[in-house]
Structure 1
């Protein structure tokens, strides 16, 4: 079964502070699309070192959004990219599209 993003971690972290939650969500809304664009630019250019760096940043957002299995995949993918292997690109792009669509609808 495919995992779905959620705000459980953010809600736990906020301790019912709605203003904090909204600020956190605003940061995700701003950063995720930009990091996705940068990821696409770097992977298209086959700049695997920089792509790995972007995956590193994004993987923490996956964890924040409750995507434990997707996080595990991103850990593997980051290491693969460091070795010049981009074979998990399609799976990672699917994850990025999923979280981008999710945050757009919050």
Structure 2
């Protein structure tokens, strides 16, 4: 599995350290909340709302440079909309990897 990175953030922010710091702060604040919302929907088997949560999380996946994982999330979102949890393990492994990375920033 690919690893989260700051390549996209670095590219986006260029030499603007203040902008880079702000993006990282937003990701650090929003990602745990978005994961928590997703977890709650999955716990209650509310697949439609879980799919919406996955859709929101896909933006963080892109920001953290996870190009291949984005497609897993996209397919998982489609699966949830069909009320199947195929790719759940892969997606949740990705979430764990992202959360660990963000916690260490």
Bin of the TM-score, shorter chain as denominator length: over 0.9
**Alignment match, 2:32:** 33
Matches within 5 A, 1:83-102: 83-102=82-101
Structure 2 gaps, min length 5: none
- Within a 5 Å distance, the mapping from 1:4-83 to structure 2 comes to 4-83=3-82
Q: CA deviation at 1:87?
A: 2.2
Deviations 1:17-54 (A, max 9, x none): 01100110000000111111111100110101100000
State the distance in 2 between where 1:32 and 1:84 align: 24
**Which residue is 2:103 aligned to?**
104
Equivalent-residue separation in structure 2 for 1:15 and 1:64 (angstroms): 14
C-alpha separation in 1, matches of 2:38 and 2:87: 13
Q: 2-side partners of 1:46 and 1:89: how far apart?
A: 12
Q: Which runs of 5+ in 1 are unaligned?
A: none
Large movers: runs of 4+ above 2 Å: none
Shift, 1:95, TM fit: 0.5
The number of aligned residues is 105
